[in-house]
Amino acid sequence: MSIIIKTADKSAIRLSEITAESDYLDRRNFIKQTGLFATALWAGGSSRLASASAADYGRDFNHRIKTAYGQGEELTSYKDATTYNNFYEFGTSKKDPVENAQQFVTDPWSITVEGEANKTGTFHLEDILKQAQIEERIYRFRCVEAWSMVVPWVGFSLADMLKRFEPTSNAKYVSFETLYDPQRMPGQKRRVLDWPYKDGLRMDEAMNPLSFMAVGLYGRDMPNQNGAPIRLVVPWKYGFKSIKSIVKISFTEHEPPCTWNRVSPREYGFYSNVNPDVDHPRWSQKSERKLGANFWDPKTDTQLFNGYAEQVAHLYKDMDLQKYF
């Protein structure tokens, strides 16, 4: 049994060992059988990961902090979350990224920070990681295409990282860019999107405690097809806001250009908060299909802000959600 440390703010526990995928499954069954979501109960397990990928990469997620986020959620299987992907840099069909991204080399990796901040420059990912408090957060994730999943992400608070760059008072937005390198990202040889992929947030959205920089999932290094080595995860917004393989962060005074918003502003708003009452012009957003569900299973109701209203509704209290969608 591992040592359990409870912290005051979010009843976090420190795992002394990597939890293998099988442990997640056990845990899920355990939760199902007992109906208990209590933190301490699922911290155990002594198995090691069969794959040494995290270690190969020089990463150590053994000491990631377990958080209370998503307790009681039924996790999507590792297989579904890593074989059904949107990552147009590696092809436009759901099966393309897992097939085409395997040779993608993400070490070394650096991120350039520019714009309205005191500490701009280019930073090695490993240095950013050294300063980060690595956590695990189980989040729901809802794609604008009306499928969804539940994933245990490994990473750190976006706000904690952004604060270190000391944004100035002019920084009203923050934007992110994916790598542009058609040799390494073969999907970029075709102009299916205006590369590089870009997306951004209002500063107060970025500083919300839910906003997360993910470097792994299921206790493992981020698979290439899921956005290695580092991606954004904004769980109350449609999935396309959660930009992958980030190489640039810019602090700006004005709303930054976002790839899908530029493709079709009436279909993909800048905000793109999950909202069952604002349909996509071509389909309903009232319900979603969970990855791994059978085709005969009933659809799941979509929740306002993907179920995170308590944490984020205040950000939009003076806004018309139909207009600023």
Residues found near ligand MTE in the complex (CB under 6 A): 85-89, 143, 178, 197, 226-227, 239-240, 242-245
Judged by DSSP in three states, 76 sits in coil
* Residue 240 within binding range of Mo ion, rule CB under 5 A: yes
* Residue 146 within binding range of Mo ion, rule CB under 5 A: no
- Shortest spacing between CB 276 and ligand MTE, in angstroms: 17
Residue type, 308: Y
Burial class (CB in 10 A: 0-12, 13-18, 19+), 237: buried
Tokens of 179: 């790598």
- Shortest spacing between CB 58 and ligand MTE, in angstroms: 23
- Shortest spacing between CB 132 and ligand MTE, in angstroms: 20
* Residue selected from 143, 171, 185, 249 as contacting Mo ion according to rule CB under 5 A: 143
> Segment 70-99, which members bind Mo ion (CB under 5 A)?
86
- Shortest spacing between CB 197 and ligand MTE, in angstroms: 4
* Residue 174 within binding range of Mo ion, rule CB under 5 A: no
Contact 85, 94 (CB under 8 A): yes
* Residue 42 within binding range of Mo ion, rule CB under 5 A: no
- Shortest spacing between CB 223 and ligand MTE, in angstroms: 8
Q: What is the Cα–Cα distance from 164 to 291, expressed in whole angstroms?
A: 36
Q: Which is nearer to ligand MTE, 78 or 197 (CB)?
A: 197
Residue 75's CB is within 10 A of a number of other CB atoms, namely 21
Among Mo ion, ligand MTE, none, residue 87 binds (CB under 5-8 Å by kind): ligand MTE
Q: What is the Cα–Cα distance from 60 to 49, expressed in whole angstroms?
A: 12
Residue least distant from ligand MTE (Cβ): 239
Q: Which is nearer to ligand MTE, 157 or 226 (CB)?
A: 226
Q: Which is nearer to Mo ion, 37 or 283 (CB)?
A: 283
What backbone phi and psi angles, to 5 degrees, belong to 26? -60, -45
Residue 288's CB is within 10 A of a number of other CB atoms, namely 24
Judged by DSSP in three states, 315 sits in helix
- Shortest spacing between CB 170 and Mo ion, in angstroms: 31
* Residue selected from 70, 97, 200, 239 as contacting Mo ion according to rule CB under 5 A: 239
Contact 229, 109 (CB under 8 A): yes
Tokens of 277: 């009452």
Contact 292, 148 (CB under 8 A): no
Site residues, Mo ion (CB under 5 A): 86, 143, 239-240
